[in-house]
Amino acid sequence: MRSNRLAIILWIIVAAVIFGMLRHQSLRNLRRTNAALAEQVARAQTQVSELRIGLETAQRELAEERARRDEIAANTATLAHELAPGNTEARWSAPPVRLPDWDPESPYVWLDKGLLTRFPVQPFSPAGILNPAVGSVLTLNPEQTRQLNDSLSRLVAEYRAQEAAHAQRFDTDIPGMQPRQGERLTIEIPPLPELGASLRDQFERTLVEQMGQSRADLILKTAEGWIREQLNDFGANSRILSVTRQPDNTYQVFIKTEFSQMSTAGGNSFEEYLPTHLRHLFAPLNHSPISETKP
């Protein structure tokens, strides 16, 4: 009996040892399997990352190729347009060797910009509105022209209001006037240096803001005569205006500035010879209503 118990205990111990060995071997195999799977997963992730980088590179290269294709297509279309029959712009786009240049076959004339100041053209209307032809030559766009006209016409109107307010009446005849044969009214616009300096500063600043310094310098040079005539050289000079209503109800007009002198007689009206903003000062001599139409 006792020997049987020992045998049973021995078998139990042997079975436990064998089970432990089998369990340990199974765990070792499982760990090897897990390690192999983890290695495969890591390799797969690396491959996915490499594929993603390759895809992004391919997409970027494709976009670059499309951009180059579009550029080539645009250049080809431009070249075809330039070479098309009847297209003269491309043919005459290159400047000549010497200026000025007159080519009988060309629709264009190449000139030095400095020559523009010698053309007898009025760059502005009496109200300070830019001559549209001058704006076209200076390549101003519609918005630049609108802003320029708004600003300059306002400056001119404000200065002329000051001229009218400072007008002085006097009765002494001056050399150059015809003998008095009727009712005469003479006024003088005195120099207005401070107002004129302010006008010059605002006038020039407006030109520079709207068209840049080079074009502003060009148009100021062209407008020298206009500035003398319309703005008394920015208030630097005086001006005398005289109107005589003669016994036969015709008019004698006399105008004298620092640079010129004008007289006329025998007309039935004097308004056309006087600046609009000063006509009301001569209303006592008028036998018809004063026109307020601006030139």
Give the mean pLDDT of the chain: 81
Tell me which residue of 64, 102, 108 sits closest to 89, measured CA to CA.
Answer: 108
Identify whether 108 is part of a domain: no
How would you class 244 by CB atoms within 10 Å of its CB: exposed for 0-12, middle for 13-18, buried for 19 or more? buried
Identify whether 6 is part of a domain: no
Tell me which residue of 250, 241, 248 sits closest to 282, measured CA to CA.
Answer: 241
Instruction: State pLDDT tens for residues 127-158.
Output: 999 999 888 888 889 999 999 999 999 999 99
Identify whether 25 is part of a domain: no
What percent of the chain lies above the pLDDT cut of 90? 29
Q: How confident is the model at residue 99 (pLDDT cuts 50, 70, 90)?
A: low
Eight-state DSSP code of residue 101: B
Identify whether 230 is part of a domain: yes
Identify whether 278 is part of a domain: yes
Q: What is the total count of domains within the chain? A: 1
* Cut 0.85: pTM above it: no
- Is the Cβ–Cβ distance between 207 and 144 less than 8 Å? no
Amino acid at 195: L
Identify whether 69 is part of a domain: no
Identify whether 167 is part of a domain: yes
Instruction: State pLDDT tens for residues 185-194.
Output: 999 999 999 9
Rounded distance between C-alpha atoms, residue 98 and residue 114, angstroms: 15
Identify whether 248 is part of a domain: yes
Structural domain containing residue 185: 113-285
End-to-end CA distance of the chain: give it in Å, rounded. 147
Q: Which two tokens stand for residue 54?
A: 């390759």
